[in-house]
Amino acid sequence: MLHRVIDALNGDKIDALDAHCDVPCAIYDPAPILISALTVVRMIDIMEEWMSHKPDSELSLQNAISRCVAQKEKHAEDVKHEVRVIWGDYLKAPQFEKHPNAHELVHNIMLTGSKCKQGVSREDALQLVELCNQFAEMFWETKGVETKRAVCPYKPSLETVYPVL
Amino acid sequence: MFRLFRVRGRSMLPTLSDGDFVVARRLDSTARRSLQAGRVVCVEHRHLGPIIKRIRKIEAEQCELVSDGQLGAESEAMGSVHLQRLTHAACFAITPRGFKRVNLAVSDRL
């Protein structure tokens, strides 16, 4: 009753206190970023393998390369998307104060991700993995979670950041 | 001394719902020092603006805030807040179903 009266009289004029935040799930994890970055490297490796041995036919070669290019494109874009979500939704001023290079790191991931989409340079893909490793280390540090670097137990067998839980 | 606020959002569910009104008492420096974990407070947050949250922990002049529900900002995202940023302490809520206490003992899950 009282609630209705207040609401009707001047509810809109009463100062509001926010009890909300943008993303409700609060689930953030850089693991998909690293998997996608590793996939970009793997796709380039597979394409190089295909080019180095004789395919059954030109058509099968084109088919295989096309599929790899499509996956490389998708996973490079996934890296950019997932990084943007953590940067935009999870990281806030307190984390930026602790990690003043966060913006530059994210920007470099965006640029390198685009390079990986445009070309087939393994060096660019390796650089993408390294930048994503640095991003993962920064993320877990904001959570107070220790990390370690270990070679992923599958191809392309590159050093990857894992949380020590 | 007392002030009425409107709650906007659902991060304090089930204690406070979107659209509830909260009657809160203004905090002076003495009242701030007597605050304890579990209290619902109005905060002038440096980055998030005016928010309403529950105190999770107080250490020296800093406190950690927490949402009652699962929909709110993580405590880490809100960061450590200086006690001077706490403007009011919630006394009770006025909901469409009547009055409601907000400072019930919930410290076991803070």
- Write out pLDDT tens, residues A4-39: 888 777 766 788 887 755 444 567 899 999 999 999
Q: Which residue has the tokens 């089930």?
A: B14
Task: Report residue B105's pLDDT band, with 50, 70 and 90 as the boundaries.
Answer: low
pLDDT tens, residue by residue, A59-87: 888 999 999 999 999 999 999 999 998 99
Question: Mean pLDDT across the stretch A142-147?
Answer: 94
Task: Report residue A100's pLDDT band, with 50, 70 and 90 as the boundaries.
Answer: very high
Are the beta carbons of B11 and A6 separated by less than 8 Å?
no
Element (H, E) at B51: strand B49-59
pLDDT at position B72 is: 57
Task: Report residue B109's pLDDT band, with 50, 70 and 90 as the boundaries.
Answer: very low
For helices A31-52 and A122-142, the axis angle rounded to 10 degrees is 170
The reply to whether A143 touches chain B by the CB within 8 Å rule is: yes
Considering A119-128, B6-15, B59-68, the range whose residues carry the highest mean pLDDT is A119-128
Q: Which two tokens stand for residue B106?
A: 């919930």
What's the ipTM? 0.73
pLDDT at position A28 is: 87
For helices A122-142 and A102-118, the axis angle rounded to 10 degrees is 150
Are the beta carbons of A17 and B42 separated by less than 8 Å?
yes
pLDDT at position B107 is: 46
Q: Which two tokens stand for residue A46?
A: 């597979």
* Burial group, residue A99, by CB count within 10 angstroms (0-12, 13-18, 19+): middle
A92 contacts in chain B (CB < 8 Å): 47, 73, 77-79
Element (H, E) at B9: none
Instruction: Find out whether B35 and B41 touch, Cβ atoms under 8 Å.
Output: yes
The reply to whether A13 touches chain B by the CB within 8 Å rule is: no
Say how far apart CA B97 and CA A29 lie, in whole Å: 40
pLDDT at position A25 is: 59
Q: Point out the residue among B42, B71, B76 whose CB comes nearest to the CB of A24.
A: B71
Instruction: Find out whether B66 and B47 touch, Cβ atoms under 8 Å.
Output: no
Whether B108 has a pLDDT exceeding 50, the answer reads no
pLDDT at position A35 is: 96
Question: Mean pLDDT across the stretch B7-18?
Answer: 85
Q: Point out the residue among B51, B72, B73 whose CB comes nearest to the CB of A17.
A: B51
Task: Report residue B27's pLDDT band, with 50, 70 and 90 as the boundaries.
Answer: very high
pTM score of the predicted model: 0.57
Amino acid at A23: V
The reply to whether B79 touches chain A by the CB within 8 Å rule is: yes
Q: Point out the residue among A3, A16, A143 whose CB comes nearest to the CB of B76.
A: A143
For chains A and B, count residue pairs whose Cβ atoms are closer than 8 Å. Answer: 97
pLDDT tens, residue by residue, B41-99: 999 987 778 899 999 889 888 998 888 876 655 666 677 889 999 999 999 999 988 88
